[in-house]
């Protein structure tokens, strides 16, 4: 009965594959008990379009999100007797105005919850390619510490303003960092203080940190977050959930066996499974805590 609280499909995300129904059918096939649709929220600046989106207009992103919401709710009804499906969105903090954009979406759509992410520093993507990560570094005069500080400050502003239930890939900024940068990350008191500040703030409003298995397929030997930050999260008694961050049916449950071992090695004993509110009006979703072994019961997997 594994769970994933963060996923995407090629139907509504051009750097993914497959369609939403194929994704949920694959999740059922593998024995998932809970699976969340969390397609990306639309962006409202043309300069924020990714390479595969350059032929689109900003309005196209909004139209796509509207189509996503309707299809996700349809599938929730169609497959809800076989699997616990949630309909949410991965939001992104790119600049201060991003907050108002997300609030407007939350006013329009009755999402079960949001996944809070930061993929940009000073509006430059930091997980798209090593070259763009370097561009973000150049934007702060090649100061590794400043780049990391700014990332966690952006993250804090996103957390403070929007209070997402699930906090995505907490240390994504490390994905393309060279060894020199990683040493700065490990040694910087400024970075350490901001990491702890953000963890404490998530705890203060009842947020949940995801353990995200997509880091394995991107070359790490751990999930997001790495061991040092995961231990700080555990020390703070924070809530943890699981995500495959799949971008299509071929990635559903990918590396979940490695994720299980990572959690066991780090002493994680239980994870939170999120359930949608049963009320007619928007309300905070509920969750229950599941022992690690139970979280993998019945898991078939595909890799």
- Backbone dihedral angles phi then psi of residue 2, each to the nearest 5 degrees: -65, 165
pLDDT above 80 for 252? yes
* Torsion angle of C-alpha atoms 52, 56, 62, 63, degrees rounded to 10: -110
What is the rounded distance in angstroms from the CA atom of residue 177 to the CA atom of residue 200?
A: 25
Confidence at residue 50, expressed as pLDDT on a 0 to 100 scale: 87
pLDDT above 70 for 278? no
**pLDDT over 70 percentage in the chain:** 97
Confidence at residue 144, expressed as pLDDT on a 0 to 100 scale: 98
Say what the pTM is. 0.95
The DSSP 8-state label assigned to residue 90 in this structure reads E
CB 182 within 8 A of CB 215: no
What is the rounded distance in angstroms from the CA atom of residue 246 to the CA atom of residue 10?
A: 10
pLDDT single digits (tens) 51-108? 899 999 999 999 999 999 999 999 999 999 999 999 999 999 999 999 999 999 999 9
| 239 sits in which H/E element | strand 239-243
Which residues have CB under 8 Å from 239's CB, separation 6+?
206, 207, 208, 209, 272, 287
Average pLDDT of the residues of the chain: 95
Residue 298 — very low, low, confident or very high, per pLDDT cuts 50/70/90?
confident
* Structure tokens belonging to residue 163: 């209070």
pLDDT single digits (tens) 181-239? 999 999 999 999 999 999 999 999 999 999 999 999 999 999 999 999 999 999 999 99
- Backbone dihedral angles phi then psi of residue 209, each to the nearest 5 degrees: -90, 135
Least Cα distance to 240 among 303, 150, 138, 165 occurs for: 165
pLDDT single digits (tens) 32-52? 999 999 999 999 999 999 889
Instruction: Identify the CATH assignment for 3-295 out of 3.20.20.140, 3.30.1360.30, 3.30.1540.10, 3.60.110.10.
Output: 3.20.20.140
Confidence at residue 39, expressed as pLDDT on a 0 to 100 scale: 97
Residue 24 three-state SS: helix
Residue 276 — very low, low, confident or very high, per pLDDT cuts 50/70/90?
confident
- How far apart are the two ends of the chain, measured CA to CA in Å? 17
What is the rounded distance in angstroms from the CA atom of residue 269 to the CA atom of residue 272?
A: 11
pLDDT above 60 for 303? no
What is the rounded distance in angstroms from the CA atom of residue 254 to the CA atom of residue 257?
A: 8
**Radius of gyration for the chain, computed over Cα atoms and rounded to the nearest angstrom:** 18
């Amino acid at each position: 009965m594994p769970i994933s609280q963060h996923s995407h499909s090629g139907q509504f995300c051009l750097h993914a594959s497959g369609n939403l129904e194929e994704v949920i059918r694959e999740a059922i096939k593998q024995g998932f008990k809970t699976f969340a649709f969390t397609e990306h929220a639309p962006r409202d600046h043309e300069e924020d379009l990714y390479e595969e989106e350059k032929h689109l207009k900003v309005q196209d992103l909004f139209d796509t999100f509207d189509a996503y919401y309707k299809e996700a709710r349809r599938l929730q009804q169609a497959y809800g007797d076989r699997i616990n499906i949630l309909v949410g969105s991965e939001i992104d903090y790119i600049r201060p105005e991003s907050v108002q954009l997300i609030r407007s979406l939350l006013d329009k759509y009755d999402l079960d919850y949001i996944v809070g992410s930061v993929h940009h520093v000073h509006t430059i993507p930091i997980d798209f390619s090593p070259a763009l990560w370097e561009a973000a570094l150049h934007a702060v005069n090649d100061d590794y510490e400043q780049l990391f500080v700014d990332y966690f400050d952006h993250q804090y502003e996103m957390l403070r303003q929007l209070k997402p239930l699930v906090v995505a890939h907490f240390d994504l900024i490390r994905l393309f960092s060279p060894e020199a940068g990683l040493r700065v990350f490990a040694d910087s008191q400024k970075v350490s203080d901001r990491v702890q500040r953000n963890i404490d703030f998530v705890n203060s409003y009842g947020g949940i940190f995801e353990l995200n298995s997509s880091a394995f397929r991107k070359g790490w030997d751990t999930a997001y977050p790495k061991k040092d930050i995961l231990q700080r999260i555990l020390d703070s008694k924070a809530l943890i959930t699981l995500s495959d961050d799949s971008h299509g049916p071929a990635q559903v449950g990918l590396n979940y066996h490695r994720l299980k071992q990572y959690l066991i090695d780090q002493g994680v004993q239980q994870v939170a499974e999120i359930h949608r509110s049963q009320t007619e009006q928007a309300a905070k979703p509920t969750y229950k805590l599941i022992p690690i072994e139970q979280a993998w019961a019945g898991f078939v997997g595909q890799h």
